[in-house]
Amino acid sequence: MRNNPGIIQLGRFHDHRGTLTVVEGGASIPFSIERAFWITDVPSGRGRGGHAHRRDTQLLVAVSGSFTLILDDGESTLTYRLDNPSEGLLVPPGIWNILENFSPGAVCLVLVSGPYDESEYIREYPDFIAFKAK
């Protein structure tokens, strides 16, 4: 798959008090964090995503529970099961993504390289294929 999505190991520190996981924009991940949000309470059998970003890079982390992330670059697909809060999946721009199979109580944290801008999103798959053909 082009654009090199992949798992990033996050800083993890464990002692008798518990575990602390750290993400530092520009240090532990290859972009500055401009926006953060999290997804919760996804009903059984439902999904999220179903879009691509024109310019933004994202890091998705299953901070609790698990979910499946399907990435599509217009030529091939990769499927990841995220279930470790000390790992994040880097999703570069120009990758169609679908989140599904959320476990009960799952929390998906998303860190993004840019602020919210609706024009940044590609929400229809045929438009995504046309974008990739440019």
pLDDT tens, 17-67? 999 999 988 888 999 999 999 999 999 889 999 999 999 999 999 999 999
Our answer to whether residue 51 is catalytic in this structure is: yes
Under 8 Å between Cβ of 121 and 115: no
Which single residue is written with the structure tokens 């999703």? 91
Identify the residue whose tokens are 């970003």: 53
Residue 3: pLDDT above 80?
no
For β-strands 96-100 and 77-82, DSSP reports them as: unpaired
The residue from 14, 16, 51, 53 that is catalytic is: 51
SS3 call for 40 = coil
CB atoms within 10 A of CB 7: 12
Instruction: Quote the pLDDT of residue 94.
Output: 96
Report if pTM > 0.75.
yes
CA–CA separation, 129 and 127 (whole Å): 5
Tell me what pLDDT residue 51 has: 97
CA angle 75, 106, 117 (to 5 degrees): 55
Spatial neighbors of 86 by CB under 8 A, at least 6 apart, are 9, 10, 12, 19, 21
d(CA 62, CA 53): 20
